């Protein structure tokens, strides 16, 4: 994704134009081409392959929840090798949203689905040995359908702003303090993105057609608008997006039970990610191999979740133990942005960097049950091999 690398933060507190230009300018076209591109400039490649820190003492590398996005695997591999130079045991499986991707001998995906018993969207991490999904026609068709969710939601997001949906706009404005000037400026710019998408649809990479497109568009305007104005816009967009997600029709998704059944028929494995966001999925007692007890977005209940998994394993009368995982939830695309346009929280995530494994309180609970990165790597590899 090509983005203009800014050397300054731009003017501060820049006011929005009294009347935003409706016509699409050459600058708009250049900005659009940059934010939808999945090609990397040399400076972006350099950022990707150069990690901010090196972990020489970490010898076991477990990462089964991370998103390559549009970053080539060769660059990701260079970063991982530089970051963990002394690893001796490893299991890395990419989990792109609703799209199968492979690393060495394994293939993974993070799929959106819904829990019918609780009528809410959930997500599952699916992992396979590569040969298990070679001819997985049904699963691939299910994922192709679900992949359209994010682009469909983007168009609803844009329509909410450009039509507009007065109720959602009013609620978002109240929640963020957005005034009419900001709302109109956003409307005009989103309308431009909408028109440019329609005009150039056949050339736009499908990976770029998601909600982040609007965030990236306005971030690219940061040099002209300044940080204060851009941050106000991003807060307003985030509020509108939340309302769009809240109203999305869950019948679009396959049920979690349907996804699990298909995965088991292929000999694959399943992990529940960031359960703090999806508490009901733990109550459903799904047939899964593991539960993620730590995630950069879900850290508050790690020790409690370890206890939940341990107690569940102690009660079981048949079958295999539920394994404990930690997910770095790294999105590699964030590392291709100029430093002043990155989300600091997302940019800090790294493939295989899960500090909770080394936290003294967490380790105390893990040691009692003989759980470590190495033990999980060994057991999960065995399950994936079938």
Read off the pLDDT of residues 195-211 as tens digits, 9 standing for 90 and up.
Answer: 999 999 999 998 888 88
Q: What is the pLDDT of residue 4?
A: 43
Please, which pLDDT band fits residue 17 given cuts at 50, 70 and 90? low
The neighbour count for residue 306, using CB atoms within 10 Å, is 22
119 or 48, which is more confident: 48
Please, which pLDDT band fits residue 169 given cuts at 50, 70 and 90? very high
Please, what is the average pLDDT of the chain?
A: 90
Q: Assign domain 42-149+250-385 to a CATH class.
A: alpha beta
Q: What is the pTM of this model?
A: 0.87
5 or 322, which is more confident: 322
Please, which pLDDT band fits residue 318 given cuts at 50, 70 and 90? confident
Percent of the chain with pLDDT over 70: 94
Question: What distance in Å separates the CA atoms of residue 192 and residue 31, rounded to the nearest whole number?
Answer: 11
Name residue 110's beta-bridge partners.
97, 125
Question: What distance in Å separates the CA atoms of residue 233 and residue 172, rounded to the nearest whole number?
Answer: 11
Q: What is the pLDDT of residue 149?
A: 84
Nearest 5°: phi and psi at 320?
Answer: -100, 160
Question: What distance in Å separates the CA atoms of residue 73 and residue 179, rounded to the nearest whole number?
Answer: 43
Domain boundaries, the chain: 42-149+250-385, 151-246
From residue 325, give the alpha-carbon distance in Å to each of 52, 100, 285, 291.
24, 20, 17, 6
Residue 280: pLDDT above 50? yes
Q: What is the pLDDT of residue 282?
A: 73
CB 100 within 8 A of CB 140: yes
Name residues whose C-beta falls within 8 Å of residue 375's C-beta, 6 or more positions apart in sequence.
Answer: none
CB 17 within 8 A of CB 224: no
Per-residue pLDDT, averaged over 234-246, amounts to 94
Strands (E), the chain: 60-63, 66-67, 89-92, 101-103, 106-115, 120-129, 269-272, 290-294, 323-326, 330-331
């Amino acid at each position: 994704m090509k983005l203009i690398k800014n050397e300054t933060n731009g003017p501060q507190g820049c006011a929005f134009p009294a009347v935003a230009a409706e016509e699409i300018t050459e600058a708009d076209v250049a900005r659009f081409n940059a934010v939808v591109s999945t090609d990397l400039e040399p400076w972006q490649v350099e950022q990707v392959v150069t990690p901010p820190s090196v972990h020489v003492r970490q010898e076991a590398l477990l990462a089964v929840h991370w998103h390559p996005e549009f970053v080539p695997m060769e660059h990701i591999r260079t970063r991982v090798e530089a970051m963990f130079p002394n690893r001796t045991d490893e299991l890395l499986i990419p989990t792109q949203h609703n799209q199968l991707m492979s690393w060495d001998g394994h293939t993974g995906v993070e799929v959106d689905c819904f829990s019918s018993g609780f009528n809410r969207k959930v997500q599952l991490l699916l992992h396979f040995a590569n040969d298990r999904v070679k001819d997985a026609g049904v699963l691939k068709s299910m994922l192709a359908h679900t992949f359209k969710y994010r682009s469909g939601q983007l168009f609803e997001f844009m329509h909410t702003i450009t039509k507009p949906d007065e109720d959602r706009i009013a609620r978002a404005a109240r929640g963020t303090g957005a005034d009419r000037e900001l709302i109109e400026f956003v409307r005009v710019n989103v309308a431009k993105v909408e028109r440019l998408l329609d005009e150039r649809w056949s050339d736009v990479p499908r990976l770029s057609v998601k909600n982040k497109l609007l965030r990236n568009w306005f971030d690219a305007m940061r040099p002209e608008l300044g940080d204060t104005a851009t941050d106000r816009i991003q807060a307003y967009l985030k509020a509108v997006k939340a309302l769009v997600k809240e109203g999305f029709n869950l019948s679009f998704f396959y049920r979690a039970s349907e996804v699990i059944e298909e995965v088991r028929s292929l000999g694959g494995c399943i992990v529940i990610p960031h359960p703090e966001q999806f508490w009901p999925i733990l109550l459903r007692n799904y047939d899964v191999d593991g539960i993620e007890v730590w995630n950069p977005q879900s850290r508050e209940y790690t020790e409690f979740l370890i206890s939940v998994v341990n107690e569940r394993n102690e009660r079981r009368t048949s079958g295999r133990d539920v394994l404990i995982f930690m997910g770095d939830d790294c999105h590699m695309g964030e590392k291709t942005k100029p430093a002043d346009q990155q989300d600091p929280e997302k940019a800090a995530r790294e493939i295989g960097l899960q500090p909770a494994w080394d936290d003294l309180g967490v380790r105390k609970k893990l040691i009692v049950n003989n759980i470590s990165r190495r033990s999980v790597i060994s057991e999960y590899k065995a399950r994936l091999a079938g």
